[in-house]
Amino acid sequence: MGDAGIRERYGWAEIDPEGPVTAGATGTWRIIYHAGRYGVDDGGVIKIAWRDVSDWQTPQFGEPDAPGYASVSTTGPASLRPAFEKQRYVRPWRLCVTIDVFDDSLSEGDTVTLILGDTSGGSPGIRAQTFCKDRFEFRVAVDWCGTWVYEEVPSPAVPIVSGAPHKLVAICASEIVPGESAWAGIKAEDVWGNPCRDYTGEVALNAGGLSGLPETFRFSPEDGGTRRFENVVAPRSGIFRIGAEDRALGLVAESNPLRCVESGNGYRPYWGDLHGQSEETVGTNPVSSYFRFARDSAFVDFAGHQGNDFQITEAAWEEIRHQANVQNDPGRFVAFVGYEWSGNTPVGGDHNVYYPGDTGPLHRSSHVLIPDKSDLHTDCLHVSDLYRAMKGRDVLLVPHVGGRYANLDWHDPEFERLVEVYSEWGEFEWFLKWALENGYRVGFIAGSDDHKGRPGAAYPGSGSFGVYGGLTCVFAAELSRHGLWEALKARRCYGTTGQRILVNVAADGHPMGSDLKALHPPEIAVDVIGTAPIERVEVFRGLKLVYSFPETVPRAGDRVRIAWSGQRIRARNRLVRWDGGLTLRQGRIRHAEGYAFDSASEGIQSVSDHAVTWKSVTTGDADGVILTVEAPPRATIDFRTDVVSHAVTLREIAKGPVRIPAGGIDIAVVFELAPDGAGSEASFTCREPELPDGCHPYWVRVTQTDGAKAWTSPIYVTSGTGSR
Q: Are residues 419 and 464 in the same domain?
A: yes
Alpha carbon distance 583, 587 (integer Å): 11
Give the β-pairing of 126-127 and 133-137. Answer: unpaired
Distance between CA 335 and CA 327 in Å, rounded? 7
Q: Could you tell me if 351 and 485 lie in one domain?
A: yes
**293 DSSP 8-state letter:** I
Residues 102 and 211 occupy one common structural domain: no
Residue 660 and residue 572 share a domain: yes
Q: How confident is the model at residue 339 (pLDDT cuts 50, 70, 90)?
A: very high
Q: Residue 723 — pLDDT band, cuts 50, 70, 90?
A: very low
Specify whether 78 is located in the same domain as 148.
yes
DSSP 276: B
Which residues lie across from 142 on neighbouring strands? 46, 151
DSSP element (H, E) containing 487: helix 481-489
Query: Other C-beta atoms within 10 Å of 22: how many?
Result: 17
Mark whether 591 and 645 lie in a shared domain.
yes
How many structural domains are present in the chain? 5
Per-residue pLDDT, 203: 98
Indicate if the alpha-carbon torsion angle 465, 468, 469, 472 is positive or negative: negative
The string of DSSP letters for 330-375 reads TTTBEEEEEEEEE--GGGT-EEEEEESSS------S--TT-S--TT
Cis upstream peptide for 460 (omega within 30°) = no
Q: Give the predicted TM-score (pTM) of the model.
A: 0.96
Q: What does the pLDDT look like over 641-698, one tens digit per residue?
A: 999 999 999 999 999 999 999 999 999 999 999 999 889 999 999 999 999 999 999 9
In the listed set 142, 161, 180, which residue is the last one of a domain according to the structure?
161
Query: What CA–CA distance (Å, rounded) separates 232 from 177?
Result: 11
- The 10s digit of each residue's pLDDT in 274-286 is 999 999 999 999 9
Last residue of a domain, one of 635, 654, 675: 675
pLDDT tens digits, one per residue of 356-405: 999 999 999 999 999 999 999 999 999 999 999 999 999 999 999 998 99
| pLDDT tens figures, 75-85 | 999 999 999 98
Can you tell me the distance from the alpha carbon of 19 to that of 29, in angstroms, rounded to the nearest whole number? 11
Res 23 pLDDT > 70: yes
Task: Tell me 568's DSSP state.
Answer: S
* pLDDT the model gives residue 722: 43
Q: Which domain holds residue 423?
A: 268-498
User: Do 493 and 512 have their domain in common?
Assistant: no
Same domain, 24 and 147: yes
352 with 280, same domain: the answer is yes
**Residue 348: its pLDDT value, please?**
98
Same domain, 671 and 690: no
pLDDT of the residue at 88 = 78
- Are 285 and 177 contained in the same domain? no
Residue 423 sits in a domain of what CATH number? Answer: 3.20.20.140
For residue 506, which of 491, 523, 493 has the smallest C-alpha distance?
A: 523
pLDDT digits (tens, 9 = 90+) for 328-338: 999 999 999 99
SS3 600: coil
Among candidate residues 240, 246, 174, the one with its CA nearest the CA of residue 207: 240
